[in-house]
Structure 1
Amino acid sequence: MRVVRLFLVGEHPVFGAALRPQLREEDELHRDLLQQDFLDTYHNLTLKTLMGLEWVSRFCPGATYVMKADHDVFLNVEFLVRRLLVPPRRGLATGHVYRNTGPLRRRAFKWFVPREVYPEDTYPPYCGGPGYVLSGDVALRVFAVAQTVPAINMEDAFVGLCLRALGLGVTDPPRGAFAMARLPYQRCRFARLVLVHHFTPRELLQVWEDFRGASQECP
């Protein structure tokens, strides 16, 4: 299975101009950046995700799967493919599934969504934003229907709204395979996980070096 990795970026709200030469250098070396003209903030994650889905729709419409993952996650692609994605599947949306959750209405919360943006009290089932997988056919349909679904600032819940508009559900993965909370690193434990959230870049480099370099087999 051929894997194409893209890093999605907007404009940094403070250091945008200063970062452009570094971004240009990265893209010239690796051709792995996708950027549009919006502020790269938490509340613009919906725009960032739609940017990625637009690229898939235009340049990679035959993709078997599309995965969105945050920058602060450990991601075990080999386990993901072996455990969940082979043989190829259609109609798939999977990750850590949230059900019966709703928008937070207090402005002090990072996840605040005003009622005028989303009037309902609960979200439809959706996959947690740190990382989820859509089969290629679902990714194309989500991008198409997103043009008609009123956008909200909670990106993962918005994808759930698009799935609902399409009449599609979410698929539960193996229990615990997508860990939304940070877990202490243990190589054999991580070998049976798809994703673990809340790592710094330095920590990820250390974890990945050990994870890929260890010679012993896990039971």
Structure 2
Amino acid sequence: MDSYDLVVLKTVAICEYGVRAVSAKYIMKCDDDTFVRLEAVMAEVKNIPNGKSLYIGNMNYRHNPLRIGKWAVTYEEWPEEDYPTYANGPGYVISADIADSIVSEFTDHKLRLFKMEDVSMGMWVERFNKTRPVEYVHSVKFCQFGCIDDYYTAHYQSPRQMLCLWDKLQAGKPRCCNMR
């Protein structure tokens, strides 16, 4: 049975697959309703000097937990007043060393799991950053609310919109499609 609560475990599995199964340098997590301009994402990643630990996406800094509504978090679940810096869940990239650390901590039963996978990733990267510096890179082009022109990722895209985005991309124009 699939549920939103399992996304955090799927994220750990993505980290394990990207390091242990295919030896990737970077791992990108994105939602299934997110269209990705992979060549643009990789160009942004390549701006970071080789060998640096990397966390790139549309970052939230000092974001306060919502205490009411759909994404409500109780004080028992998260007693702190703000979350660690984290990239929004529709699409972000981490370097393999961070992924490897996540898998190791999970295997050793030391990984703190939180119900929101993007916040969990922020916690895990923050912990990793205490032992090895991480290059945090923020870009609004990892669009979390839909699509912006010259996007890296476009979220909440229907299959029809993805086909339209692909067609526009093939024509050389990373432009949004506003149909439903």
How far did residue 170 of structure 1 move? 5.4
Letter of the structure 2 residue corresponding to residue 139 of structure 1: A
Matched, 1:204 2:162: yes
Question: Higher Cα Rg: structure 1 or 2?
Answer: 1
Structure 2: gaps (5+ residues): 176-180
* RMSD (CA atoms): 2.4
Q: Which has the higher contact order (CA 8 A, sep 6+)?
A: 2
1:200/1:141 Cα in 2 relative to 1: closer, same or farther (>3 Å)? Answer: same
Map of 2:144 onto structure 1:
180
Map of 1:81 onto structure 2:
42
Letter of the structure 2 residue corresponding to residue 64 of structure 1: K
Q: TM-score, normalised by structure 2?
A: 0.81
Q: Say which is worse superposed, 130-139 or 193-202, in terms of deviation.
A: 193-202
Alignment of 1:145-184 (within 5 A): 145-146=105-106, 147-166=109-128, 167=130, 168-169=133-134, 171-173=136-138, 175-183=139-147
Alignment check: 8 A CA contact 1:90 1:137 kept: no
Map of 2:70 onto structure 1:
110
How far did residue 90 of structure 1 move? 2.6
How far did residue 169 of structure 1 move? 4.6
The count of corresponding residues between Structure 1 and Structure 2 is: 169
Alignment of 1:26-41 (within 5 A): 39-41=1-3
Query: Matched residues in 1 for 2:136 and 2:77: separation?
Result: 27
SS of the equivalent of 2:137 reads: coil
For residues 170-208 of structure 1, the C-alpha deviation after alignment (integer angstroms, 9 at most, x for no partner) is: 5123x4221112236xxxx33xx3112121122112221
How far did residue 101 of structure 1 move? 0.9
Q: TM-score, normalised by structure 1?
A: 0.68
Structure 1: gaps (5+ residues): 1-38
Alignment of 1:69-148 (within 5 A): 69-85=30-46, 88-106=50-68, 109-146=69-106, 147-148=109-110
Map of 1:35 onto structure 2:
none
1:143/1:183 Cα in 2 relative to 1: closer, same or farther (>3 Å)? Answer: same
For residues 149-183 of structure 1, the C-alpha deviation after alignment (integer angstroms, 9 at most, x for no partner) is: 3311110000111112222555123x422111223
How far did residue 44 of structure 1 move? 2.0
Q: Say which is worse superposed, 145-154 or 40-49, in terms of deviation.
A: 145-154
Query: Matched residues in 2 for 1:202 and 1:96: separation?
Result: 25
SS of the equivalent of 1:96 reads: strand
Alignment check: 8 A CA contact 2:102 2:124 kept: yes
1:99/1:210 Cα in 2 relative to 1: closer, same or farther (>3 Å)? Answer: same
Matched, 1:63 2:24: yes
Alignment check: 8 A CA contact 1:145 1:165 kept: no
